[in-house]
Each structure stands twice: as C-alpha cells, then as structure tokens.
Chain A
Amino acid sequence: MGKALQNEAMNIDVQTMIENKRKKKSVSGKLEKLIPAFLFLCAAVSVLTTAGILFTLLRESITFFSNTSIIDFYTGTQWSPWTGHFGVLPLITGTLLITLIAAIVAIPLGLMSAIFLSEYASDRVRKIIKPTLEVLAGIPTVVYGFFALTFVTPLLKTFIPGLGIFNALSAGIVVGIMIIPMIASLSEDAMNSVPNKLREGALALGATRLEVALKVVLPAAFSGIVASIVLAVSRAIGETMIVVIAAGASPALTFDPTRSIQTLTAFIVQGATGDTTFGSTIYYSIYAVGATLFVFTLLMNMLSQYISSKFREEY
C-alpha cells in the first residue's frame, strides 16, 4: 500500500518533470526563433541610420534648393546667409585650405613615424611609442581647439606678426597633428604586414635599412598607406571644433592661411547656434551645406575602401 503511494508520487513527479521540460523547451524554442528576429532589428538600425541621414539631408536640401538656385549655390562666391547670399564656394575653399595645411603637416610626419616604428624601432620602443601616439587620437577635439587658440596661434604670431587671432594656419596645423596617429598607426599596420622574408632578401643583397624601407616595404604596403592617408584626409574635412574655435567665422574665398576663414562644418555650427528658427532659409541652408560635406567625406571613405581592397598585395 505504502509502496503504491510512493510509486504514484514518483509517477506524478516524473510526469510534471516531463511537462516542465516540455514547457521549458517550448519557451526556449520560441526564444531560439525570437532572438534572431530581435538581432536582425538591431542590425537594421544601422541601415536605418544611413537611410535617415540620406533622407534628412536630401529632404531639407531640396526644400532649400526650391528657394535658392542650386547653380548659384555651387558657383556663388559670397557666403553671407544673414544678408541672403548663399554661394558655398568660400566654405569649400575654407575646408580645402584647412585640409591642405593638415595634410602637409600630417602626411610626412605620419609616414616618417610609421617608417620609424615599423622598420627601425625595437619591439620595446614600438610598444611604448605607438600607444602614446594613439593617445593623440583620443583627445577631444574641443581640447585641440582650445590649444590652437591659446598656444599655437600666439606661438605662430611671434614668427608671423600679421597673423590674426583667428586664422586658418593654426587650425590647419592642429588638425594635422590630430590626424598624425591615424596615418602613423594604420600605415604602420600595413607595413608590419609585409612579410619579413622580403626584408631579409633585400638585406641579404646588401641593401641598407633605408633602402629596404623605401624600395621594398613602402611599395609592398602602398595600398594600405594610401588608404590610411585618404581616411585621415576625410577626417580632416569633417573636423569641426578645432576650426570653429581657432579659424573664426569669416567665410572668405582665399587661400591665404593667415586669414580667418570658415569651413563647411564651422558654418553648420554657427547656423545651428544662432537665432536660427526652424523652417527659415538659414535653417535649410545648414542641411545643404551638410549634404555637401557628407558627399565629400563619403567619396573619400569609399575611395579609401576601394584602394585598400583593389590594390592589396597578397603574399
């Protein structure tokens, strides 16, 4: 009698256990199906972000161009939105000037740093210097802007007396310093991935380290190096705070680096912070400028990806 009861209890137990197991399985089975759907939604957000950026820039730019002729916008040489002159060329030359100065600073310094780190430095030295250089990339741009305005400009003024408080030169140099680690680090990665047997072959033929670096490693890592430079230049085009703080806000169709200028990015900040009301022409103009900027940087980024995938040398 007692035994039968025990058996029954056990039976129930096993039955509930099986049922529980089944329930659990159906829950986890559902989870197994739901999770990929949820993860897909997460991945969709990044696509939607791109779509959102394109849609936003396009829609507001089209509204802008329904009032202002697109030809006048891209050929006009006077940018003074508050008096109704929307010629974007001064902003474009301002951006190009800053980018040019930054490139003149960053490309030689970045490349030479990369050659030093990859071809001359010992492992220990590289392990110290590379992360330290990368700290430069982690410093907020507002800090660079502050430094450009309060240190670099006064310093340059001792050499160039005619320099204004706000000028393209100081901002451009500091933007250049900011993108050095990008060129140095990515180029060094590219040079590091050149197999050692190429170096050793050249050294065995009697080449000096310099000849190995310039005639063997550099050509072999060329695509990676160019890609890193293009990427860094794209970063310089999109740089905002340094230019806003140190280069001033006077759009000018000039390539004189001692003058104050305005870039595409700097105008967007100015246009968004002023008394710009939603729906005014100036409000829409910041989107037209933003779209122009977006196209510039997108082209550069795609060029960089194209170069690094197309001209990659495989060993």
Chain B
Amino acid sequence: MLGIDQKNILKRIRGRVLLNNVLKGLFFASTTIGLIFLALLLYRILTQGIGYLNSGFITSFPAPYPEEAGIFAGLIGSLLMIAIVAPVAIILGVGTAIFLEEYAYKNRWTKFIQINIQNLAGVPSIVYGLLGLTFFVYMLRLGYTLLAGGLTMSLLVLPVIVVAAQEAIRSVPSDIKEASYGMGASKWQTIRRVILPAALPGILTGTILALSRAIGETAPLIIVGAATALYTLPDSLLSKYTVMPIQIFNWTGRPQEEWQFVAAAGILVLLIVLLFMNAIAVFIRNKFQKRY
C-alpha cells in the first residue's frame, strides 16, 4: 500500500518503546544508587556507634581508652562556634543582602560584588583555613583560639547566607513595599518593618542551613589549629577549643577497631545535631512562610 512497510514500522516502534522502557529502568536504578548509599551509610554508622552512644559518651572528655572517651568538649565547642558564627555571619550576610537588593545602584560595582560573592561560594573551604591562619591567627595575633576559628568559619558561610537572604528579600512582592512608601514610611522604616519581617522565614532557613554547614566543616579548623584532645572547656573567646568533626577525625585515624565505634558514636551525635537544625529550618519554612 503506497510503499509503506507497515510491518517494518511496527517493528521499529516496538524497538523504540522497548528502549524507552529499558532506559527508564536504568534511570530509576541510577537514582536509587544514591539513595541506597545514603541508607547504607546511615545504617552502618547507626549499628557501629549505637553501642558507644550513652550519657557517659556525651558528658565525658577525650580519654586514652575507647570505653571512657567522650565528645563533651567537641559538642560544647561546636555550640560555642555557632554562638560566634551566627551573629557575625548573620549581621554581615543580611547587611550585604539588603545593601545589594535595596540600596546599591545596579551598576558595574554592584555586579562586581555579586560575582565576587558567587566566586567566594566556590572557593574550597581549606583555602579559607589558609586565610584564617595568616590573617586571624598570625596577623591579628589571635593564635589557635575559639575566636580565630569562629571568625574563619563566619567568612566561610557568609556567601551562603548572602545568597539566601538576597533571594528571600527579592521574593518580597513590591506591592507591600510601595504600600509602605505610600503611607509615608522612609526607606529604612520600610526595610525594617515591612521587607525584613516578610523575608525573615527565607533568611532564617538559609541561615540555619549555612550554620549546619559550619558545624560539619573540618578542614579549615584543622588549619587554624583546633585542638584534637582537650580536657577542659574553653572559658573565653581566646581559649583553645575543639569541635565535633575534629574529634571524629582524630578517632577515625586510630588503628584499633574500638576507636572506629567511638568515631561512629561521635558521628551519630553530630548527625543528630544536624538533623535537629534542619528540622528547625523546615519548621520555620512551613510555619511562617506567607504567600502574597
């Protein structure tokens, strides 16, 4: 019939549909590999670490024997680190975002700052460690202290917070801004009482995610000299300190198998803290996210 080889066409269609189905299976399988890896990782760490995870582990200092070792100094150190990073990075980050979104003229300089922030976000964390070592540890003579570590970490998470805050501020609809100006409010009044409250959920979510990155970072703190074994808590900003990832790293490097279980227990504590922070972020996003 008019030279159309129906049989051949049907055969080809069958082949194409088959290929589609086979590759669909392959794509699905690839997606699950990531998920399987995640499940495996969590399962392994849970089974290895759960035996060592008890109240003694959380309230003890490092010890020469695995049974007595604990993560207390690391846990408190990580929380103190957040107490430094949060105010510094939030003020600088949100300030930068407001400046770029509301005040800066859209000119070459603003674009330069913007590109600069994007590039900073891509700088490997260890390079921030080198910056901290030269600038905070040696030039400002802070030494291997909590403050030097905290300031280094603040610079590290700054670009993440700026980008998140910018997106949050940008998504505030201009109607309510203009309504505020229309009521006679000045620029800063509008920012403080209208834009920031509306953008707050987005800013907080981004900030918490950035801080949870700071909690998990290890490399830059090794460079700026976090202690690996600490038997007292830091009592001032200029004290020696350690954080959870550094403790875990230290335990991971020991040859006896028991230390691996201790490291796994430490990882569990770290993951629980991270889970808690992410839960807060999700909660804030769902609870306070207004739609305009």
Q: Is A32 an interface residue (CB 8 A)?
A: yes
Mask: chain B, 209-221; 1 = CB below 8 Å from A; 0 = not: 1001101111100
The chain B residue with its CB closest to the CB of A184 is B34
Q: Which residues of the other chain, A, contact B99 by a CB distance below 8 angstroms?
A: 36, 39-40, 42-43
Nearest CB of A to B287, in Å: 18
Distance in angstroms between the alpha carbons of A179 and B222 in the assembled complex = 23
Q: Which of A207-252 contact B (CB under 8 A)?
A: 208-211, 231, 234-235, 237-241, 244-245
Across the interface, A113 reaches (CB within 8 A) one of B27, B158, B159, B267, namely: B27
Q: Is A190 an interface residue (CB 8 A)?
A: no
Distance in angstroms between the alpha carbons of A100 and B54 in the assembled complex = 41
Across the interface, A129 reaches (CB within 8 A) one of B35, B91, B260, namely: B35
Across the interface, B222 reaches (CB within 8 A) one of A42, A112, A237, A273, namely: A273
Nearest CB of B to A234, in Å: 6
Q: Which residues of the other chain, A, contact B35 by a CB distance below 8 angstroms?
A: 129, 132-133
Q: Is A168 an interface residue (CB 8 A)?
A: no
The chain B residue with its CB closest to the CB of A115 is B27
Q: Which residues of the other chain, B, contact A181 by a CB distance below 8 angstroms?
A: 34
Assess the B123–A113 pair: CB atoms within 8 A.
no
Size band of the B side of the interface?
A: 35 or more
The chain B residue with its CB closest to the CB of A301 is B122
Stretch at the interface among A48-56, A72-80, A193-201: A48-56
Q: Is B104 an interface residue (CB 8 A)?
A: yes
Contact residues of B with A, CB < 8 Å? Answer: 16-17, 19-20, 23-24, 26-28, 30-31, 33-35, 37-38, 40-41, 44-45, 48, 91-93, 95-96, 98-100, 103-104, 112-113, 115-120, 122-131, 133-135, 138, 155, 158-159, 162, 186-189, 209, 212-213, 215-219, 222-223, 225, 245, 248-249, 252-253, 260, 263-264, 267, 270-271, 274, 278
Give the interface SS of chain A, mostly helix, strand, loop or mixed: helix
Distance in angstroms between the alpha carbons of A283 and B193 in the assembled complex = 50
Distance in angstroms between the alpha carbons of A36 and B104 in the assembled complex = 9
Q: Which residues of the other chain, A, contact B263 by a CB distance below 8 angstroms?
A: 146
Assess the B95–A43 pair: CB atoms within 8 A.
yes
The chain A residue with its CB closest to the CB of B191 is A35
Assess the A146–B267 pair: CB atoms within 8 A.
yes
Distance in angstroms between the alpha carbons of A115 and B24 in the assembled complex = 9
Q: Which residues of the other chain, A, contact B131 by a CB distance below 8 angstroms?
A: 49, 52-53, 56
Distance in angstroms between the alpha carbons of A240 and B248 in the assembled complex = 15
Assess the A142–B135 pair: CB atoms within 8 A.
no
